[in-house]
């Protein structure tokens, strides 16, 4: 079996787009990826399309990818629709990877597009709750709030109920963060360090939703969401699309003037029914990814981690093996995760600043990895970037993600 490569990427700036649709954003990302790979629509042999909420907002519940592809003049080839919450786009990439490994086809398009902004903000926030066990939603909320209030930390009595005025996922992240603070002494200021760093990275990224810098003090002084999270520490609501083109080693030989990036590992898994002391899904899957790639965490030059909140990055930096368990806070505070540091994390700005349109986020991470590995990241370019990792989680059941994908890419 030959290697598998990413030969084209495309992404529109993540933002709030009142006049754009899931369809129009996807079309733009696809055309950018095709142009980047130097391919025509007719060259594609398979398509994987990721989206979560088009049906909820605009009633397009089925054949979403076919609707968009047919409208673009891409027909006859198989189109697979993927819905896996925040991990939808990375799951679509994993499926394209496995299809090529199985020699079912040689070149595939992967695209994710999502529109979450809505004049009714309550509807936007309500969408996130559908990425949990809806039938047992109340039990999940009781678990989140119960665990969160069991730690000896600031009183939360004046906070609004979970999901009111914010995504319910912010409550889940806050609960896990309070556990981490109670167990390891992690501080709110360390979370602010993560967030401030990501705002700085995003200020260098013309495709990021937020491009303003924020000091640690400004992050701490921002509007409180649910302790210890302030507004700046949480990913914004937004819209966007991203795409990638994947091909086999044999197909790559046919192409000219491309800058290929090799996929060393593509791993997909489900969370487990565990307590807070159990083995984390990220730890389990990263070990599989490292084994598949033939590398270890010490070989990773940079990473895009799923930071729907600042705590997400702090936690994933530990379970990916970049620092010891419980030391994510001091690790961020040391400057190790900033551009120029030991292992730059979320050079795109992360979900906190680059943006988090659910169905597109995983491919946005891949876009950043490919851009860095090609040496095309401009002012945020990492010197000597050779191997990058992307971790993308989706949904929540119990105390961890319902789904996760990890990809490790190497400079072509």
Domains and CATH numbers, the chain: 4-118+238-263 (3.40.47.10), 121-235+265-411 (3.40.47.10)
pTM, two decimal places: 0.94
Could you identify the residue written with the tokens 């080693």? 249
Which residues are paired to 391 by β-bridges?
A: 406
**356 is an active site residue:** yes
Whether 289 and 408 have beta carbons less than 8 Å apart is answered as yes
- CA atoms within a 13 Å half-sphere pointing along the CA-CB vector of 412: 20
What pLDDT score was predicted for residue 126? 77
Chain centroid offset of residue 359 CA: 9
Whether 156 and 227 have beta carbons less than 8 Å apart is answered as yes
Could you identify the residue written with the tokens 């994510």? 328
Closest Cα partner for 369 from 263, 210, 213? Answer: 263
| Helical packing angle, 22-37 and 64-71, nearest 10° | 60
Cis peptide before 228 (omega within 30 of 0): yes
Query: Could you tell me the two tokens for 103?
Result: 């020699």
Backbone CA torsion sign across 53, 58, 61, 64 = negative
Q: Which of 306, 315, 356, 407 is catalytic?
A: 356
Q: What are phi and psi for residue 200, nearest 5 degrees?
A: -65, -45
Residues of the chain falling short of pLDDT 50? 156-158
What pLDDT score was predicted for residue 163? 53
pLDDT for 183-197, tens place per residue? Answer: 999 999 999 999 999
Could you identify the residue written with the tokens 């090609």? 374
Distance CA 64, CA 233 (A): 32
Q: In what order do the strands lie in the sheet with 302-304?
A: 79-82, 47-50, 107-115, 239-248, 4-11, 261-270, 400-411, 387-397, 302-304
* Helix ranges restricted to H, 72-215: 88-101, 121-128, 137-148, 168-184, 188-202
Distance CA 7, CA 107 (A): 10
**247 is an active site residue:** no
What pLDDT score was predicted for residue 125? 76
Element (H, E) at 310: helix 310-319
Distance CA 174, CA 31 (A): 39
What pLDDT score was predicted for residue 134? 75
Which residues are paired to 49 by β-bridges?
A: 81, 111
* Number of residues that this document lists for the chain: 412
């Amino acid at each position: 079996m030959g290697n598998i490569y990413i030969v084209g990427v495309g992404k529109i700036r993540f933002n709030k787009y009142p006049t754009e649709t899931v369809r129009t954003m996807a079309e733009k990302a696809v055309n950018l990826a095709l142009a980047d790979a130097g391919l025509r629509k007719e060259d594609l042999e398979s398509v994987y399309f990721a989206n979560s909420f088009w049906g909820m907002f605009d009633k397009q519940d089925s054949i979403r990818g076919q609707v968009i592809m047919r409208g673009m003049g891409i027909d006859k080839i198989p189109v697979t629709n993927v819905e896996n919450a925040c991990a939808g786009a990375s799951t679509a990439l994993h499926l394209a990877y496995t299809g090529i490994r199985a020699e079912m086809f040689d070149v595939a398009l992967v695209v994710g597009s999502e529109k979450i902004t809505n004049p009714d903000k309550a509807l936007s926030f309500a969408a996130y709750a559908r990425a949990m066990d809806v039938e047992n939603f109340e039990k999940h909320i009781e678990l989140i709030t119960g665990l969160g209030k069991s730690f000896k930390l600031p009183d939360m009595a004046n906070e609004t109920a979970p999901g009111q005025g914010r995504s319910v996922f912010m409550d889940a992240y806050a609960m896990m963060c309070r556990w981490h603070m109670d167990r390891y002494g992690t501080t709110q200021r360390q979370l602010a360090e993560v967030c401030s760093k990501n705002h700085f990275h995003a200020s260098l990224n013309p495709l990021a939703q937020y491009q303003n810098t924020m000091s640690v003090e400004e992050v701490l002084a921002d509007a409180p969401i649910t302790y210890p999270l302030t507004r700046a520490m949480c990913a914004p609501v937004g819209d966007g699309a991203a795409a990638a083109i994947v091909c086999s080693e044999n197909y790559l030989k046919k192409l000219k003037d491309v800058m290929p990036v090799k996929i060393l590992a593509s791993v997909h898994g489900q969370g487990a029914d565990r307590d807070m002391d159990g083995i984390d899904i990220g730890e389990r899957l990263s070990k599989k990814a490292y084994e598949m790639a033939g590398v270890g965490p010490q070989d990773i030059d940079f990473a895009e981690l799923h930071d729907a909140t600042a705590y997400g990055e702090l936690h994933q930096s530990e379970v990916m093996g970049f620092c010891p368990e419980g030391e994510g806070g001091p690790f961020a505070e040391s400057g190790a995760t900033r551009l120029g540091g030991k292992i730059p994390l979320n050079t795109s700005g992360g979900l906190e600043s680059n943006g988090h349109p659910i169905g597109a986020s995983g491919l946005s991470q891949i876009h950043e990895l490919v851009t860095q590995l090609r040496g095309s990241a401009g002012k945020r370019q990492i010197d000597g970037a050779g191997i990058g990792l992307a971790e993308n989680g989706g949904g929540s059941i119990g105390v961890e993600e319902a789904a996760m994908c990890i990809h490790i890419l190497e400079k072509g």
